[in-house]
Amino acid sequence: MDHGRNCAGGRRAAGHRWPLIATPAADLAVVGLGPAGRALAHRAAAAGLRTVGVDPRPDRPWAPTYAAWVDELPSWLSPGVLRTRVAQPRVWATQPRTLDREYGVLDNPALHRTLDLSAVQTVTGTAAALGRGVVTLRDGTEIRAARVIDARGLRADPALAEQTAYGVVLPSAVAAPAMGGAECWFMDWRRDNGTSPGDPPSFLYAVPLGGDSVLLEETCLVGRPGLPLDTLRRRLDVRLRNRGVEVAADADFNVERVRFPVEAPRLRTAVMTFGARAGLIHPGTGYSVAASLRAVDDVVTALTVGADPAKALWPYPTRAVRSLREIGLRALLHLNPAFTAEFFDRFFALPTHRQRAYLSGREHPAATAATMWELFRTAPMPIRRTLAAASVRRS
């Protein structure tokens, strides 16, 4: 699914020598050039800010599969960054449902090219320390800027809830029996993966990637910790076998292994954070790329007018939405596995605008709360008890 992770580590690029001076050498230094950091550096430079980007491999290709609801993507981003689009993805919880909302898989090379850094001074290096106005690399080089923003993503942490997944990319014809005539399964919770009602749940995420290929991925939505990848691999094997998917023993196919936190620790740091590291990851789904792309211009605008970019990123409404979704995460973590499919069946039975209010956007706490209330009102009593407990539980 959607996996945003990037970190700084490596060597300083030849020819980049930064003087140790008291005055800023740049307006902005962005540390970490994954999708979130690269978008921030790209848009800042386009706005006329003297921008430095720091990363161990600034031009590395992005391997994870990034996806988004199409209506989440910002207007400045070309539709050409999508490699596939599905008008009506499907879900199967206790029954099949069709979602009336377009879903897309991002074309990583196209997104990389779109977020052009030709106007950004890029530095290949490991950030050893970040402070107000300075980035210190492992080799001792100091990069000075009026503002430093940390966009290095999140690393696995036993204290943080996480998403795990194991997937294979197969030719469409080979994957067809698993799809059952559907173009895309956003979530398929059927238990033909060898599990029983009391087992920690996982679902099939199945999306077309273009070029006559399909990603079939067994996914643990959230866990603390998430299900081990070996467990997910075995479940996927069972599921595909039960659906008649036959993969030749000598077949050559790509494998995707996923593990990343779905929540960010709220730590006081010397510098501002951005992207998943800042908590822009949705705690109930793991999606962060689209939210980061949408939030970029709020930060850039604040920087260009001399306002506080952290306040621009996290005004009260967005903080309220995040708190509400953290309640949803606690509910998922404590939900009885036997009721997982029922929970998602009730959620996806809600009107599309209610689903969207919870799954996307950060600006409307009232709409997010209304969705949560509607789900509570229509859910059976065991699920209601979990939802009520989550609203007062702290972990």
pLDDT digits (tens, 9 = 90+) for 206-251: 999 998 999 999 999 999 999 999 999 999 999 999 999 988 776 7
Same domain, 248 and 186: yes
Contact 6, 30 (CB under 8 A): no
Domain membership of residue 201 (yes or no) is: yes
Contact 78, 150 (CB under 8 A): no
Same domain, 237 and 284: no
- Mean pLDDT across the stretch 118-146? 94
Describe the crossing of helices 340-348 and 381-390 by its angle, rounded to 10 degrees.
90
Over residues 52-71, the pLDDT tens digits come to: 999 999 999 999 999 999 99
Residue 380's domain comprises 317-390
Percent of the chain with pLDDT over 70: 93
Percent of the chain with pLDDT over 90: 87
Contact 136, 127 (CB under 8 A): yes
The whole-number pLDDT of residue 25 equals 82
Domain membership of residue 82 (yes or no) is: no
Domain membership of residue 70 (yes or no) is: no
Q: How far is CA 303 from CA 37, 53, 299, in A?
A: 15, 16, 6
pLDDT mean across residues, the chain: 92
Domain membership of residue 23 (yes or no) is: no
CB neighbourhood size of 121 (10 A):
18
- Answer with the residue of higher pLDDT: 267 or 105: 105
The whole-number pLDDT of residue 170 equals 96
Same domain, 178 and 248: yes
Is the pLDDT score of 156 beyond 90?
Answer: no
The whole-number pLDDT of residue 199 equals 96
Spell out the residues 6+ positions from residue 78 whose beta carbon is closer than 8 angstroms to its own: 114
Domain membership of residue 380 (yes or no) is: yes
Contact 133, 271 (CB under 8 A): no
Same domain, 44 and 143: yes
Band (15; pLDDT cuts 50, 70, 90): very low
The whole-number pLDDT of residue 57 equals 94
Same domain, 198 and 276: no
Query: Mind giving me the DSSP string for 161-209?
Result: -EEEEEEEEEEHHHHHHHHTT-S-EEEE--STTS--TTSPP-EEEEEEE
- Answer with the residue of higher pLDDT: 108 or 394: 108
Same domain, 197 and 127: no
The whole-number pLDDT of residue 18 equals 44
Same domain, 52 and 193: no
Q: Indicate which CATH number applies to the domain containing 54.
A: 3.50.50.60
Same domain, 242 and 298: no
Instruction: Count the domains in the chain.
Output: 3
If we measure between CA atoms, which residue out of 27, 23, 31 comes closest to residue 49?
Answer: 27
Same domain, 36 and 147: yes
- Mean pLDDT across the stretch 128-145? 93
The whole-number pLDDT of residue 13 equals 39
Is the pLDDT score of 103 beyond 70?
Answer: yes
Domain membership of residue 14 (yes or no) is: no
Q: Indicate which CATH number applies to the domain containing 230.
A: 3.30.70
- Mean pLDDT across the stretch 73-90? 96
The whole-number pLDDT of residue 205 equals 98
Picking from 261, 284, 299, the residue at the C-terminal end of a domain is 261
If we measure between CA atoms, which residue out of 285, 281, 279, 263 comes closest to residue 347?
Answer: 285
Same domain, 56 and 115: yes
Band (155; pLDDT cuts 50, 70, 90): confident
Same domain, 249 and 297: no
Domain membership of residue 81 (yes or no) is: no
Domain membership of residue 38 (yes or no) is: yes
Picking from 276, 308, 340, the residue at the C-terminal end of a domain is 308
Is the pLDDT score of 115 beyond 60?
Answer: yes
The whole-number pLDDT of residue 1 equals 54
Same domain, 123 and 206: no
